[in-house]
Structure 1
Amino acid sequence: MAADCIGDYRTLKLLGKGQFGEVYMGERRTDKKRFALKSICTKYVFRGISMDRILREVESHKSLPKHENILDFIESISVGGYLYIVLELCELGTLEDYVTPKNPDRETALSFMVDLARGLNHLHSNGIVHRDIKPENILLAEQARGAPRCKISDFGVARIMDIPSADSKLDGRFGAMGSLAGEEYFNTLCGTPIYLAPEVGDKHYTKHCDIFSLGVVFYVLFSPERTREGRLSPWVKNGTLFYVASDYDIKQQIEKHVHDEGICELILSMLKTDYHSRIPASALEEELLRVAVPDDEVFFVACFLVAVTLMFLIFPAPLFVLALFLLTFGCWQFVPRGFFRGIL
């Protein structure tokens, strides 16, 4: 049970229950700004996880450089046998809360995918393997225009890893930092089964397991299938989980619901059962942008910008503004519904 006042914060209401405790909406008394407060009871051990390990994982989030697609860590406060982690508040809820009723269109789905690719690449670039990528651990922040912004959250089972040097032959098998041995970091079964990568069944964790989990998340953005309870349903056929399905069965399932060839091929490259063959997070954003902005759209916008430049050079200021308005009005119906339309 949270106290009414926690440091400089006043709890407003219970938002839900996380892996290690309850989550509250809190308000900072100095400026009335609202945050999420996650409570962890320091008197107990959760699933064999000591409080020291939890504190180390809090430190991993605290030390992570800020990124627009990673939930912001504000501070941590110890009060009355509880550790409170103060985080950015995303009042739109989780990705599952959004996708289940709305069934986002292609452009919105691609916007989410780019956000998540950027966030995951930020984690991996800073030596963190999340290990529990799923819709419930992706929060949505409202933006002034366009689709909400996705933010990866919940580092409860994340691990800090040494980033290998360029000539490393470890192929992603990072060593663990800190006092805990690598075996303790990698050989503990964790994550959510329906989003797990195949190699996790053998208790083998690398950055590639996050790619597989994110591939399943990408798939559910396009799949209309739901469970009896109305939740997202990432199954292959006959209720088979992705991590035990064959490459052939995964391909059949993805092609069943993802009809855009470029997106389909990208998701399949993330869901290879052999983790060595999966696309890395560092290349994922570039591939998504290539899919999101096809060549015909790039050509159209290039021609539009050339026309604007020529008008700027030819016409005086008042005529340029009028000509630009007429050009934009005349071309608007031909602008592709995609990334550049949001800019124009």
Structure 2
Amino acid sequence: MSENLKKDYQLCEEIGRGKFGTVFRCFSLVSGDDFACKSIDKRLLTDSLDRECLEKEAKIMQLVTGNPNIVQIFDVYEDDSYLHLVIELCNSSDLFDRISKRTFSESEATAVMLPLMEAIAHCHILGVAHRDIKPDNVLFNEWNLLKLADFGSADWFLGGKSMSGIFGTPYYVAPEVISGRDYNEKVDVWSSGVILYMMLAGIPPFYGESAGEIFEAVIRGNLRFPTRIFDSVSPAAKDLLRKMLCKDVSKRFSAEQVLSMSNSCLILIVLFKVEN
């Protein structure tokens, strides 16, 4: 552990674990406030791409921090073996846990999508694509405020620069990423569309028994709305899903467009429920 980190924070129990590091609850020795500390073991980073992502993560988090729906970063410590990121503590259940237990009403799903898209739009305005939007990375703090987390796969796309490389998680990754083509920030919109579909349906829109089968289903992009599941879902919500899960990137909505349509959907959802 970094000596400077030990001077400022007391590490407590482990609360999470990833491929390259561990997340601990910690508290400030000055204020007594609780935080989370993401400790990344640099010795496990044998791939140059992994090292590049590590270098970007702290810089990108410092850039996007300040938005109320993004996990805030407070301190960074580094030594020869570890990189420690002291970040906001989110100690409530994540979205994956909530989705796995039940389906969401449209109003409940919209209440998640609006702050999530606010966070993504904020990143995109700053030229940052998250590239791993999934329910596991959508956290909630003790006041149930949504927080987008884990920028370990994030990248810059300033100046119209496209991105490359396969990042993300099978169910949520956009088809252009799997196809190996250069892509833009709208990959985050696709992933968010998958989340919206799962909240409403309880199942992913593109399914397979293996990663390979899932990728094939994503590339086909055959978006369906099974009647027994979507019968009570409004036309406005289905239309939004079509615009988010559009294979043609030029026609796929941007994060700002999703925000605008989501706000309109709130009114249409109410009207739809009253009429039915």
Q: Does 1:213 align with 2:191?
A: yes
> Aligned-pair distance for 1:205?
2.3
* Closer, same or farther: CA 70–46 of 1 in aligned 2, 3 Å: farther
* Closer, same or farther: CA 106–42 of 1 in aligned 2, 3 Å: same
Corresponding residue of 1:321: none
1: CA distance between counterparts of 2:22 and 2:46? 14
The TM-score normalised by the length of structure 2 is: 0.85
Note the alpha carbon deviations across 1:310-341, whole angstroms, 9 max, x for none: xxxxxxxxxxxxxxxxxxxxxxxxxx8xxxxx
Q: Does 1:192 align with 2:162?
A: no
Note the alpha carbon deviations across 1:259-306, whole angstroms, 9 max, x for none: 122111101110011111111111111111111134977xxxxxxxxx
Query: Secondary structure of the residue that 1:120 maps to in structure 2?
Result: helix
Indicate conservation of the 8 Å contact 2:53/2:154, yes or no.
Answer: no
Indicate conservation of the 8 Å contact 1:112/1:149, yes or no.
Answer: no
1: CA distance between counterparts of 2:28 and 2:260? 39
Corresponding residue of 1:55: 55
Corresponding residue of 1:155: 151
1: CA distance between counterparts of 2:47 and 2:54? 12
Corresponding residue of 1:236: 206
Corresponding residue of 1:19: 19
Indicate conservation of the 8 Å contact 1:71/1:88, yes or no.
Answer: yes
The TM-score normalised by the length of structure 1 is: 0.70
2: CA distance between counterparts of 1:253 and 1:189? 30
Q: 220, 223, 231: which is aligned to 1:245?
A: 220
Indicate conservation of the 8 Å contact 2:131/2:188, yes or no.
Answer: yes
Query: Secondary structure of the residue that 1:252 maps to in structure 2?
Result: coil
* Closer, same or farther: CA 253–198 of 1 in aligned 2, 3 Å: farther
Number of residue-to-residue matches in the alignment:
264
Corresponding residue of 1:129: 129
Max radius of gyration: which structure? 1
Query: Secondary structure of the residue that 1:11 maps to in structure 2?
Result: strand
> Aligned-pair distance for 1:78?
1.9
Query: Secondary structure of the residue that 2:200 maps to in structure 1?
Result: coil
Q: Does 1:222 align with 2:200?
A: yes
Note the alpha carbon deviations across 1:138-170, whole angstroms, 9 max, x for none: 111233xxxx322111111100121x4xxxxxx
Corresponding residue of 2:86: 86
Structure 1 unmatched ranges of 5 or more? 165-173, 176-181, 226-233, 298-335, 337-344
2: CA distance between counterparts of 1:273 and 1:194? 15
* Closer, same or farther: CA 235–107 of 1 in aligned 2, 3 Å: closer
Indicate conservation of the 8 Å contact 1:6/1:79, yes or no.
Answer: no
> Aligned-pair distance for 1:28?
1.0
1: CA distance between counterparts of 2:269 and 2:81? 58
2: CA distance between counterparts of 1:34 and 1:221? 31
Indicate conservation of the 8 Å contact 2:65/2:71, yes or no.
Answer: no
Note the alpha carbon deviations across 1:107-152, whole angstroms, 9 max, x for none: 2211001111111110111100111111111111233xxxx32211
Higher relative contact order (CA 8 A, sep 6+): 2
CA root-mean-square deviation: 2.6
* Closer, same or farther: CA 160–37 of 1 in aligned 2, 3 Å: same
Q: In structure 2, give the amino acid aligned to 1:286.
A: S
Query: Secondary structure of the residue that 2:40 maps to in structure 1?
Result: strand
Structure 2 unmatched ranges of 5 or more? none
Corresponding residue of 2:138: 138
Query: Secondary structure of the residue that 2:168 maps to in structure 1?
Result: coil
Q: Does 1:288 align with 2:262?
A: yes
